[in-house]
């Protein structure tokens, strides 16, 4: 049983699944802001969870395969899980700038299309980046503001608000 | 109502309107001036007015989702105004049929319907140019392909072809010279939005998908089908053209409503998602993290 600062493994899973009682969730969020150890643990758990979910899905899809192929697939899945970096870019608590842009593009694409998302991001990068080509943690907030403006210009204020909220809650400028 | 129910319902109405339009076209050929023909035409005018009234309401809501003094807000207001004028036009046409003026005052009072027709087309063209202009500000809709030039040529070819048949048009015998001029100008006025439709089609291709692209595609179909309906309607002597023209004409109003509805859905989806990010950002980001992990590992549903 993984128990740290009174938070059980079950509670961590509920927290990551988003099924936790809102009051308890607020408590854990407040704790994570103060406790670096628990924040790191949450980050690691999020990565493991994502990997397991992905592999589970892959295996479910492959369940109709003959036993030999299924065994091979299981072995490969375990290998992938074992070789994964526990703390990485995919963690919901440790986003890099590149991941942040990927997340925003992922959110925008179903609404305004991949082409519009790409054009708006390119425009926001040009307007925000120091050297005209790169966005860093330092100018992330400016980038999000510019992307929100470009999105609002085409898709409306609601879509701009979505980009703004999602972009800022990634917390990239703090890193 | 579930997000897929309304579009499915609207597509169903487009189909019903097209069927009713085909019936109307057939009646115009088989029993022109008969009571069923008149009743069906009156019903279709009212239904089309309902479609444009619905579109007006949604267009105004869409305009409200843009910043004050933005080009896109102006665009949607112009499109809303165009739809409002279309409502007036169809209500007037219904009144003409209900009172029998189409038999007694065809070249006088009835011919004044060209005014709302022209005003609506001008407003629509202006609104669409403003939409295109907004997209150009982020670098979209500026690069055209060889195929676009071909379509451009086809659209432009329609204009002289329809113009040469202007004497066959409904209000060509109006006693008012201004109305006759307006009627003659209608091919050009219909071709102008169709040309903008070409640019919007290019933008929808550049988008590569998404709800906004679906809306633009419906809008493009609406604009091109209107031109096609006018072209086919210019040959009243050809029965098949009359049926096809009425089929297209009576369904385009609903197609316009569908286009506008798809655009409104963009705002609703974005707004719901933004609310979720405000309420619980961690849970949402965990979901995105999961989806991105699946995408990076080749899950087919998440590949773009």
% of chain B surpassing 70 pLDDT: 94
The predicted model scores a pTM of: 0.76
Q: What is the pLDDT of residues B31-69, one digit of tens each?
A: 888 999 999 999 999 999 999 999 999 999 999 999 998
Residue at A174 is within a domain:
no
> Can you name the residues that pair with A7 across neighbouring β-strands?
A4
Chain segment B135-168, per-residue pLDDT in tens: 999 989 888 888 888 888 888 887 777 777 766 6
B7 neighbors B261 (Cβ within 8 angstroms)? yes
- Alpha-carbon span A50 to A91, nearest angstrom: 8
- Cα gap B279→A46, rounded to integer Å: 20
For chain A, say whether B115 makes contact (Cβ under 8 Å).
Answer: no
> Residue A78 corresponds to which tokens in the numbers above?
């375990």
Q: How many CB atoms lie within 10 A of CB B76?
A: 26
Going from the C-alpha of B48 to that of each of B41, B53, B93, B120, the distances in angstroms are 10, 8, 11, 14
Span B71-97, pLDDT tens digits: 999 999 999 999 999 999 999 999 999
Q: In chain B, whose CA is at the least distance from the CA of A22?
A: B280
Domain ranges, residue A122: 2-169
Q: Which chain B residue lies closest to A49 (C-alpha atoms)?
A: B290
- Average pLDDT value for residue range B192-207: 90
User: Quick check: is A123 in a domain?
Assistant: yes
Whether B266 sits inside 8 A of A111 (CB atoms) is yes
| Mutual angle of helices A157-169 and A140-155, in 10-degree steps | 160
What pLDDT score was predicted for residue A1? 43
Phi and psi of A4, rounded to 5°? -140, 125
Residues 190-219 of B with CB under 8 A from A: 204, 206-213
Of B230 and B264, the structure prediction assigns the larger pLDDT to B264
Answer yes or no: do B211 and A110 touch at CB < 8 A. Answer: yes
- Residue A44 in any domain: the answer is yes
Question: Of B75, B280, B88, whose CA–CA distance to B193 is shortest?
Answer: B75
Domain count, chain A: 1
Inter-chain touch A112–B207, beta carbons under 8 Å:
yes
User: Nearest CA to A41 among A78, A17, A7?
Assistant: A7
pLDDT tens for chain A, 175 residues long, are 455 677 877 788 788 777 788 888 888 878 887 777 777 777 777 777 776 776 666 666 666 666 667 677 777 766 665 555 443 344 445 578 888 898 899 899 888 899 999 999 999 988 887 665 678 888 888 899 999 999 999 999 999 999 998 988 887 754 4
Report the gap between the CA of A170 and the closest CA in chain B (Å): 8
Q: Is residue A24 part of a domain?
A: yes
Residue A175 lies in a domain: no
Q: Say if A169 is an interface residue toward chain B (CB within 8 Å).
A: yes
B60 interface with A at CB cutoff 8 Å: no
CA distance B1 to B302: 26
* Within a domain: A56: yes
Check CB contact under 8 Å for A115 and B206.
yes
């Amino acid at each position: 049983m993984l128990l740290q600062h009174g938070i059980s493994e079950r509670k961590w899973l509920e927290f990551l699944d988003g099924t936790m009682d809102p009051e308890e969730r607020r408590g854990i969020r407040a704790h994570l802001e103060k406790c670096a150890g628990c924040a790191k643990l949450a980050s690691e758990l999020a990565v493991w969870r994502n990997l397991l979910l992905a592999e589970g899905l892959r295996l479910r899809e492959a369940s109709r395969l003959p036993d030999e192929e299924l065994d091979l697939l299981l072995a490969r899945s375990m290998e992938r899980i074992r070789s994964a970096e526990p703390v990485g870019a995919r963690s919901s608590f440790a986003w890099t700038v590149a991941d942040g842009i990927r997340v925003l593009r992922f959110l925008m694409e179903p609404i305004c299309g991949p082409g519009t998302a790409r054009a708006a991001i390119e425009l926001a990068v040009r307007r925000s980046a120091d050297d005209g080509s790169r966005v860093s943690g330092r100018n992330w907030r400016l980038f999000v503001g510019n992307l929100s403006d470009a999105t609002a210009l085409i898709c409306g204020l609601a879509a701009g608000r979505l980009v703004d909220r999602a972009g800022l809650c990634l917390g990239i400028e703090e890193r | 109502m579930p997000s897929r129910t309304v579009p499915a319902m609207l597509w169903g109405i487009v189909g019903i309107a097209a069927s009713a339009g085909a019936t109307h076209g057939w009646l115009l050929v088989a029993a022109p001036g008969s009571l069923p023909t008149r009743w069906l035409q009156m019903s279709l005018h009212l239904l089309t007015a309902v479609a444009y009234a619905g579109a007006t309401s949604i267009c105004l809501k869409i305009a409200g989702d843009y910043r004050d003094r933005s080009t896109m807000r102006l665009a949607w207001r112009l499109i809303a105004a165009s739809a409002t004028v279309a409502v007036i036009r169809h209500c007037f046409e219904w009144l003409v049929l209900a009172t029998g003026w189409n038999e007694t005052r065809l070249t006088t009072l009835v011919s004044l319907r060209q005014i709302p027709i022209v005003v609506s087309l001008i407003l629509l063209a202006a609104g669409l140019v403003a939409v295109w202009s907004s997209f150009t500000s982020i670098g979209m809709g500026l690069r055209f392909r060889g195929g676009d030039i071909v379509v451009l040529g086809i659209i432009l070819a329609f204009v002289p072809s329809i113009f040469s048949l202007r004497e066959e048009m409904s209000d060509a015998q109006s006693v008012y010279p201004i109305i006759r001029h307006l009627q003659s100008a209608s091919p050009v006025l219909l071709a102008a939005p169709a040309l903008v439709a070409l640019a919007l089609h290019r933008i929808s291709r550049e988008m590569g998908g998404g709800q906004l692209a679906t809306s633009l595609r419906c809008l493009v179909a609406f604009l091109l089908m209107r031109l096609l309906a006018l072209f086919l309607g210019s040959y009243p002597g050809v029965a098949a053209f009359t049926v096809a023209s009425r089929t297209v004409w009576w369904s385009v109003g609903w197609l316009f409503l569908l286009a506008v509805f798809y655009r409104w859905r963009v705002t609703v989806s974005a707004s719901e998602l933004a609310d979720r990010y405000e309420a619980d950002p961690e849970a949402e980001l965990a979901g995105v993290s999961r989806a991105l992990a699946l995408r990076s590992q080749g899950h087919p549903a998440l590949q773009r």
